[in-house]
Amino acid sequence: MKSRAAFVLAATLLSSAWAQDTTVPAVPTGTPIPGDYNGAYRPQVHFSPPQHFMNDPNGMFLDANGTYHLYYQYNPTANVAGNQHWGHATSRDLYHWINQPIAIFPPSNDSQIFSGSAVVDVNNTSGFFPGQDNGVVAIYTLNTPTAQVQEIAYSHDGGYSFTRYAQNPVINSTSTQFRDPKVIWYEDHWAMVVAYSQDFVIGIYTSPDLKTWTHASNFSHHGLLGLQYECPNLVKMPVQGSNDGMYVLTISVNPGAPLGGSITEYFPGTFNGTHFTAIDGAARIADFAKDNYAGQFFYGIPDGQDALSIAWASNWQYTQAVPTAQEGWRSAMSLPRRNFLANVTRIGWDLISLPYDLSPVLGPQLAARTDAANASVVVDYSAVASNALYFEANVTGAAGAGAAATLNFTALSPVSGESVRGGYFFAGDNAFFLDRGRTRGFDDPFFTDKFSTSLVLRPDGTWALSGVIDRSIVEVFVDRGAASATATFFATQPLTLFTLSSAGLPANASVSVAVYALESAWKSLANADGIVLGNVTTMAVKRDEL
């Protein structure tokens, strides 16, 4: 969650409108909130809210029925941050989302529900769920003008509606910079990581019942500091080539990222239930572009399977100014990612990040070539209704490539000449670049237009690239997910011509390319007028009932 200053201002501006209101939410109740997902900038395979402003993913979990729950920081009354609620959506495949009623509301006009997590209390450790094994407990920060405290709310219906715990807060505080709890189950107790934001400390707490918490240890002053720590995550994930897993602690930094604004760093290490120890002091960056922040891992993924994550695809430096507000919404989430650790040449431990199974939205194949070495593949996708595509390239025989050896892609608007592009150099510093600077729909001094990273070519001369271009967001996955980048872009005309080309590769090199249309995940949910309905509340919830 971002710093409190913006929310104090937003609360002041909105308080007069709420002064006579005796119910929460301050949004229509019992009435669908429509979402028009047809706008030129609306992503078609990324989640975005039906209307208004969204930021951090919150409380993500997989239930016993195979339904994924995504909560998110949500302002249901404006296209800027403030008036923070927990929005809610559910999915069976992580692409086709159903917008559910708002899940958690602030208890007063001058408070907000900030970021947090959710768990399934299978063994009823909390005592909230006699006779149930599917009770859900949300753990979140209540932000007020005087303090940030940690609260819980519980759900008897699987996470669709919540009741605030009568004896909140479960962790009290006099600090206004203490937030974003993430809770996991460790052997025989609950463990929480939470940020003392401007002290650059991640506190670790333990609890037997989610209600009584004991401070166990601190993890402090590691990696990039920026101006504050936020949104910590602790997750156990698989290690490539091993039967043993490893814990990863992620910390979101905002502001103060190397490219400006917000960024997420991560630390592989060990966790014994009370203490986290990083394997080293290196700051490892989760995404080398500028629109991937506050990522959270799903609770409830079976041990040994790839961890699953979703991040907020924006940056606090410009998120409240981007032009999607003209379509009535701001911000999307990243693609769902599957994650594991690998020991990569030269740099060591690396968080591998790849798109989760795209088959639910994968459309017709638009191009396929196995002879694309030192050649070009051109795809006109102007007839693709979603204006979204997936591409991949696999290279072999690149060992010993000279300085001229490259692979590049471009998505272009033939109408306006605007484009996004990227490419890799097989020699020298082995740099990969991503460039969104050739689009003209948004101008902001902080909207950095070019990004790059370096990845050593594998000794066997193989290399791979995949990516998704989805109206106003591009995500690329370099060398089988060893590096990834997320960047929003805003062209004045749709990009409809895709080109992937390679040049200067050795004579024995091979390049195979495939390009697919992506089907809109929202189209099937739209009504006869093309509108997707969401956030339908059935009753006004009195503050004294929360």
Specify the residue for token string 């949004």: 27
How far apart are the C-alpha atoms of 103 and 296, rounded to whole Å? 18
Find, among 176, 163, 183, 37, the residue nearest to 105 by Cα: 163
Q: State both tokens at 186.
A: 């460790």
Residues 6+ apart with CB under 8 A from 484: 286, 287, 288, 292, 337, 353, 354, 475, 476, 477, 478
Annotated active-site residue 429? The verdict is no
β-sheet bridge partners, residue 265: 251, 285
Compute the distance between CA of residue 417 and CA of residue 180 in angstroms, rounded to an integer. 43
Active-site residue, from 151, 180, 230, 435: 230
Query: Which segments of 263-358 are extended strands (E)?
Result: 263-271, 276-278, 284-285, 293-297, 307-312, 329-330, 337-344, 348-355
DSSP 181-200: EEEEEETTEEEEEEEEGGGT
418 given a catalytic annotation: no
Measured over the CA atoms of residue 217, residue 153, residue 121 and residue 269, the dihedral's sign is negative
Q: Which structure tokens are listed for 276?
A: 């986290």
DSSP notation for 234-287: EEEEEBTT-S-EEEEEEEEE-S--TTSS-EEEEEEEEE-SS-EEESSS--EES-
Chain centroid to Cα 531, Å, comes to 25
For residue 18, what is the enclosing H or E element? Answer: helix 5-18
**Nearby residues of 243 by Cβ (< 8 Å), 6 or more positions away:** none
Q: CA torsion sign, 330 to 336 to 340 to 346?
A: negative
> Using an 8 Å Cβ cutoff, are 290 and 261 in contact?
yes
**DSSP string covering 389-427:** EEEEEEEES-TT--TT-EEEEEEE-TTT--EEEEEEESS
Active site residues: 56, 230
